[in-house]
C-alpha cells in the first residue's frame, strides 16, 4: 500500500471537540477532505451545526453536529455513544476543546484556575477515556490531543500560569495513555501549536498589542494559520502514522527552538 493510500481517511469515522471554529474547524475540514465522516462537537451547538453544514456541502461527507460539555463525564460518554451510533463507528478523534485565561497568579481566583484546568486537562482526560474505551473494544484507533507550545515555555508578556500548567498536563496524559494502550491498538499523540491566528484572536482589539510582541519573537515573524495544522492531524488520524504514539508534535514556526 502506497503512502497516499495510507494517508487516506476513506471509510474512517471520527469527531473533533471544539470543532465549531478555529483549529477544530480546520482539522475537521481536513478530515472530511481526506475522506472521513466527522462529528463537530462543541458546546455552541448553533455554530457547530453551521460548521457541519458548511463542511458537508464542501466535501460531500457525512458531517454531524453534537453539543457536549467536555467537563461533564455523562455528557462526554453520551457524545461518544452518539457519534458511534450516527456515524457507524469511531476510528479517530481530535480532542481540541480548550480555553485561555490571562491573569496574574497573585490576582487569579481559585475558580478561574479550576475552570482552565477543568476544560483544558480534565476535559481531555474524560474525552480520551470515553473514546479510548470505545476504541479498545472495537479494534483500536487514534486519539489526537491539542496541547500547546505553552507546555514547553513560559509565554511572555501575558501571564497565563493556569493555561501553561494545563497544557503540560495534556502532554504527560498523552504519553501515559499511549504507553497503557500501545499493545491494545489505540494510539495517543498530541500536537503543540504555537500562536495560531484564528479569527477570534486576529479580530480582537485587546490582543493586537500582544500579537505584535509575539510576532517580533517568532522566527517567521508571524502567527501560524489554522490550516497549517491540518497536515499533521490527518497524518496522525491515518494509517500512515501507525508507529507514532506517545509523541508531542510541536508546530510553532520554531518559536520554542531558541
- Reported as a single tens digit per residue, the pLDDT across 10-22 is 999 999 999 999 9
The mean pLDDT value of the chain amounts to 96
Any bridge partners for residue 94, and if so which? 16, 144
Dihedral sign (CA 55, 62, 249, 177):
positive
Q: Give the pLDDT of residue 205.
A: 80
Active-site residue, from 142, 150, 166, 167? 167
Cα gap 49→45, rounded to integer Å: 6
Secondary structure of residue 224 in the 3-state scheme: strand
Secondary structure of residue 23 in the 3-state scheme: helix
- Reported as a single tens digit per residue, the pLDDT across 204-247 is 787 888 999 999 999 999 999 999 999 999 999 999 999 999 99
Nearest partner of 236 among 1, 64, 11, 14, judged by Cα: 14
Residue 67 burial (10 A CB sphere; 0-12, 13-18, 19+): middle
Active-site residue, from 25, 142, 163, 235? 163
Active-site residue, from 148, 150, 192, 241? 148
Tell me which residue has cell 485561555: 100
Cα Dmax for the chain: 56
What is the pLDDT tens value at each position of the chain, 258 positions in all?
899 999 999 999 999 999 999 999 999 999 999 999 999 999 999 999 999 999 999 999 999 999 999 999 999 999 999 999 999 999 999 999 999 999 999 999 999 999 999 999 999 999 999 999 999 999 999 999 999 999 999 999 999 999 999 999 999 999 999 999 999 999 999 999 999 998 878 777 878 889 999 999 999 999 999 999 999 999 999 999 999 999 999 999 999 998
> How many residues are recorded in the chain?
258
CATH number, span 12-247: 3.40.50.720
Question: Is residue 195 among the annotated active site residues?
Answer: no
Q: Give the pLDDT of residue 200.
A: 73
Residue spans per domain, the chain: 12-247
Question: Is residue 163 among the annotated active site residues?
Answer: yes
Question: Is residue 167 among the annotated active site residues?
Answer: yes
Amino acid at each position: 500500500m502506497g503512502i497516499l493510500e495510507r494517508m487516506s481517511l476513506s471509510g474512517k469515522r471520527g469527531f473533533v471537540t471544539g470543532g465549531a471554529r478555529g483549529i477544530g474547524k480546520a482539522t475537521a475540514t481536513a478530515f472530511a477532505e481526506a475522506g472521513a465522516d466527522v462529528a463537530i462537537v462543541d458546546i455552541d451547538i448553533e455554530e457547530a451545526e453551521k460548521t457541519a453544514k458548511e463542511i458537508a456541502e464542501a466535501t460531500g461527507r457525512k458531517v454531524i453536529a453534537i453539543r457536549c460539555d467536555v467537563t461533564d463525564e455523562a455528557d462526554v460518554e453520551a457524545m461518544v455513544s452518539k457519534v458511534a451510533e450516527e456515524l457507524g463507528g469511531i476510528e479517530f478523534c481530535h480532542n481540541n476543546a480548550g480555553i485561555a485565561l490571562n491573569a496574574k497568579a497573585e490576582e487569579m481566583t481559585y475558580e478561574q484556575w479550576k475552570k482552565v484546568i477543568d476544560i483544558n486537562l480534565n476535559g481531555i482526560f474524560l474525552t480520551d477515556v470515553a473514546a479510548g474505551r470505545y476504541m479498545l473494544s472495537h479494534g483500536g484507533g487514534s486519539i489526537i490531543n491539542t496541547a500547546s507550545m505553552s507546555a514547553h515555555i513560559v509565554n511572555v508578556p501575558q501571564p497565563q500560569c493556569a493555561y501553561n500548567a494545563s497544557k503540560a498536563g495534556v502532554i504527560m496524559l498523552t504519553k501515559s495513555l499511549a504507553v497503557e494502550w500501545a499493545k491494545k491498538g489505540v494510539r495517543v499523540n498530541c500536537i503543540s501549536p504555537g500562536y495560531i491566528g484564528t479569527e477570534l484572536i486576529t479580530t480582537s482589539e485587546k490582543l493586537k498589542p500582544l500579537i505584535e510582541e509575539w510576532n517580533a519573537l517568532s522566527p517567521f515573524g508571524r502567527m501560524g494559520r489554522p490550516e497549517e495544522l491540518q497536515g499533521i492531524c490527518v497524518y496522525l488520524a491515518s494509517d500512515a502514522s501507525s508507529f507514532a504514539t506517545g509523541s508531542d508534535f510541536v508546530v510553532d514556526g520554531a518559536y520554542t527552538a531558541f
